[in-house]
Amino acid sequence: MLDVRDLSVSYGTIRAVRGISFSVGKGELVSLLGANGAGKSSTIKCIAGALKASGGSITLEGKDITAASPEQVIRAGLATVPETRDVFPDLTVAENLMLGAYIHRRDQAGNRDNLERLHTLFPRLAERSAQAAGTLSGGEQQMLVIARALMARPSVLLLDEPSLGLAPAIVERIFEMIETLKTSGLTILLVEQNVNQALAVADRAYVMRLGAIVASGTAEEIRSTSDLSSHYLGG
Amino acid sequence: MAFAIQFVIDVLSLGGAYALMALGLVIIYGILRLVNFAYGELIMVAGYTMYLTSGSGLPWLLMAALAVVMAIVFGILTDYVAFRPVRAKSVTAVLITSFAFSNLLQNAALLFISPRPRNVPLPDIFSQTVSIGGAITPVRNLITIAASIVLLAAVAFLMRKTTLGIAMRAAATNFTMARMLGVPANLIITSAFALSGFLAGVVGLLWIGRIGTVVPGVGLEPLLVAFIATVIGGMRSLPGAVVGGFLLALIDTTLNYTLSQDLLKFRDAFTFSLVILILLWRPEGLIKGPASGQRT
């Protein structure tokens, strides 16, 4: 489904991602783990088209999207939820969701159905649909950006640190929802610092450190064999 | 009473024109975080289109429509010539290219038309006056008020109710995120320039309708007015630009009425002092823009 080969990302002379390769199969939930500065978010932004790759290739369902612009990537079927939780604060919840369906704006009936489905998944958003998105709580904003990404009806979803800065009870709900999405057949690449929770939902995982992948395997293997704390704490 | 009516009409007509000018500038600034210094020249283009078509015998409304269309065309041209080639590379470069484009247009007018003022055809209604409650007022002031009400309402509708408008507002807060949702960057930017050109064209008609002639430098004052109005109102807020425009008109008109003949030549000094006071009190302008505001 999503294939990343020898991907490198540089900021000037600083190489944030150094030739990493990984793949996500259809319907799989793969987690990309690692400490701050490991290069996870740069990888995500590069796949989403918001950063240019300095080397390597990214293919989505056999199509090369390495040099694609953000608007081409979403049209190819890959939606991204960035870690910065970018709701459009002065737009209402409904307007935010409407923009999520921008690429399907001619198919109004389909969007209505999709919106209904998302409202049952996130009842909170239905209640607040006329409210400005900037007035939502952090957890609600996180749900909104995920729902907005799903309005594009993607085949692959990139989730960048959905639990960042949220209360434990809300993190719990977010992960329940990720599981629901997974059972619905969506292919998901989940970037997380919250290792235990990420491994609980993931099929497979890759561990990044200083821009390179240092471990990979099934969630079980990663949990039992690799010494995760050393990657995080730099031991 | 007559005086009060006169004052209100003056403020509203000047304010309406200022608000439209400011709106045209802030629509670009909101999305690109760049001031389009060639904005004043769009007004000039509208003026010269009127001058050049004046001998054609077309009905005035058609000439006016043509002038607005030319302002839109040159607005879009600004994007293609000055912004798009260097937009992704450097902010400074765009600053220079937009100055350069502005200069280019002005000098083209100097060279190919004339440095001297040229008459612009105006329908009789622009020079007539009416009496409202004892106040004698030029009809063009009422036209300006009506045009600004209609256009402000139309822009508000566009920005609030249409997908394109909502996408433009989204792009103004977070351009990259909007692109990640599939909103095409170039479409949004070109639409913003077209809308800006449209507003400049209409403002050009109203503005030149006050003076009756067009010169190559005619756009300088509107650009300055628009810039000050957006700074007062808040650089990143559309309602702010409108509020700033009306406030600036209120200040100008009040000074016009209250300053003695000797002091009136220093009106701008008084205006700018007040602007400085407003900015000391509210450095970000009266109305803050949306929360996130990184350049993209």
Tell me whether residues B163 and A98 touch, CB distance under 8 A: yes
Q: What pLDDT was estimated at residue B86?
A: 86
The mean pLDDT value for B59-88 works out to 92
Query: In a 3-state reduction of DSSP, which class is residue B234?
Result: coil
Tell me whether residues A88 and B179 touch, CB distance under 8 A: no
Which chain B residues touch A71 with a CB distance below 8 Å? 179-180, 182-185
Give the HSE-up count for residue B170: Cα atoms under 13 Å, Cβ half-sphere.
34
Give, in order, the Cα–Cα distances in Å from B192 to each of A83, A128, B122.
29, 30, 29
Q: What pLDDT was estimated at residue A229?
A: 61
Q: Tens digits of per-residue pLDDT, B125-175?
A: 888 888 888 888 888 899 999 999 999 999 999 998 999 999 998 988 888
Tell me whether residues A88 and B290 touch, CB distance under 8 A: yes
Q: What pLDDT was estimated at residue B291?
A: 52
d(CA B68, CA A115): 40
- Joined together, the tokens standing for residue B53 give 């078509």
Q: What pLDDT was estimated at residue A77?
A: 92
Q: What pLDDT was estimated at residue B293?
A: 41
Tell me whether residues A71 and B291 touch, CB distance under 8 A: no
Which chain A residues touch B169 with a CB distance below 8 Å? 88, 90-91
Higher pLDDT, B37 or B285: B37
Residue B106 has pLDDT above 90, yes or no: yes
Average pLDDT along chain B:
88
Tell me whether residues B173 and A80 touch, CB distance under 8 A: no
In b/e form, how buried is each residue of B261-296, taking b as 16+ CB within 10 angstroms?
A: eeeeeeeeebbeebbeebeeeeeebbbebbeeeeeb
**DSSP assignment, residue B172?**
H
Tell me whether residues A70 and B176 touch, CB distance under 8 A: yes
Q: Does A71 touch chain B (CB under 8 A)?
A: yes
Of the pLDDT bands very low, low, confident and very high (cuts 50, 70, 90), residue B294 is very low
Higher pLDDT, B31 or A49: A49
Q: What pLDDT was estimated at residue A232?
A: 61
Q: What pLDDT was estimated at residue A36?
A: 82
Tell me whether residues A90 and B169 touch, CB distance under 8 A: yes
- Residue numbers in chain A where pLDDT is lower than 70: 226-235
- ipTM here: 0.87
A-B CB pairs within 8 A amount to: 74
Q: Considering only alpha carbons, which residue of chain B is nearest residue A84?
A: B177
Which chain B residues touch A152 with a CB distance below 8 Å? 181-182
Q: Considering only alpha carbons, which residue of chain A is nearest residue B167?
A: A99
Which 3-state string (H, E, C) describes A148-198? HHHCCCCCEEEEECCCCCCCHHHHHHHHHHHHHHHHCCCEEEEEECCHHHH
What is the reported pTM? 0.84
Q: Does A75 touch chain B (CB under 8 A)?
A: yes
Q: Considering only alpha carbons, which residue of chain B is nearest residue A96?
A: B170
Residue A31, min C-alpha distance to chain B (Å) = 21
Beta strands in B92-167 (DSSP E): 118-119, 129-132, 135-138
Q: Tens digits of per-residue pLDDT, A64-99?
A: 999 899 999 999 999 999 888 889 988 999 999 999
d(CA A133, CA B177): 14
